Amino acid sequence: MLRKGGKSKTLRYLDLGCGEGLDVILMAKKGAEAVGIDFSEVAIKRARRFARKERVEAAFVHGNPLRKKIDGRFDIVASRFVLHTIRNVYQKRFVETMMAYTKEGGFNVLVYHTTYANGKLIEGFQLNLESFYLKKGWGVRASKEEFSGKGFTHGKPLHWKYVIAQRP
Ligand SMILES: C[S@@+](CC[C@H](N)C(=O)[O-])C[C@H]1O[C@@H](n2cnc3c(N)ncnc32)[C@H](O)[C@@H]1O
């Protein structure tokens, strides 16, 4: 069972743009109280079916996290391969939404592409995510840019990045 800091409270995990729920189900299997939200109804239906098949309890919400309210706050708020799909003007709000759902001492985990499928660099807010968190008084615990190698997407090089930030 995943426990928070050795205490008896179950760890709460929220996934924004959970898709078909792989990470949510993995976290639920480890004992977390796991919730996923996605604006694709098809993805949410598949995630619920996947959870039933795996016999795990996880909550899947259909909607846009920028508008839909989810109860409570979470120890880990994650979003994998979503940020780069969001238009620049909404990216800041998306990250602020993740921050608002995070408990004190909790973490945001973001994984996203930094180049388009044609190999060009994606510009905008996501490039300076670390400084955004630092300005808000959060700690940046890890951040790394990786290169998948040629041929991964449409034969073009693909760069991706992860950032792990902690609320004070
Ligand atoms: C590339 S998939 C990644 C899915 C999952 N996180 C994973 O790593 O397998 C991107 C997902 O983000 C969802 N998405 C994008 N923008 C969203 C938003 N504003 N609100 C909710 N879901 C969103 C899409 O519907 C899609 O399921």
**pTM value surpassing 0.85:** yes
Predicted confidence at residue 4, as pLDDT, reads 61
pLDDT in tens, 61-119: 999 999 988 999 999 999 999 998 888 889 999 999 999 999 999 999 999 988 776 66
Q: Which residue lies with its CA nearest to atom 9 of ligand 1?
A: 19
pLDDT of residue 7: 58
Radius of gyration of the chain (CA): 16
| Residue ID of nearest Cα to ligand 1 atom 25 | 40
Q: Which atom of ligand 1 is nearest to the CA of 64?
A: 20
Give me 67's structure tokens.
Answer: 């508008």
Distance CA 160, CA 158 (A): 7
| Residue 122 pLDDT grade (very low, low, confident, very high; cuts 50, 70, 90) | confident
* Contact 166 CB / ligand 1 (< 6 Å): no
Instruction: Find the 15 Cα to ligand 1 centroid distance in Å.
Output: 9
CB 98 near ligand 1, within 6 Å: no
**Ligand 1 touching residue 43 (CB < 6 A):** yes
Q: How far is it, in rounded angstroms, from Cα 129 to Cα 131?
A: 6
Q: Which ligand 1 atom is the nearest neighbour of the CA of 63?
A: 21
Q: Tens digit of pLDDT for each residue in 25-70?
A: 999 999 999 999 999 999 999 999 999 999 999 999 999 999 988 9
Convert the pLDDT of each residue in 130-161 to its tens digit: 999 999 999 999 999 887 665 555 556 678 89
Ligand 1 atom closest to the CA of 90, numbered from 1: 19
* Dist CA 20 CA 14 (whole Å): 14
d(CA 89, CA 66): 13
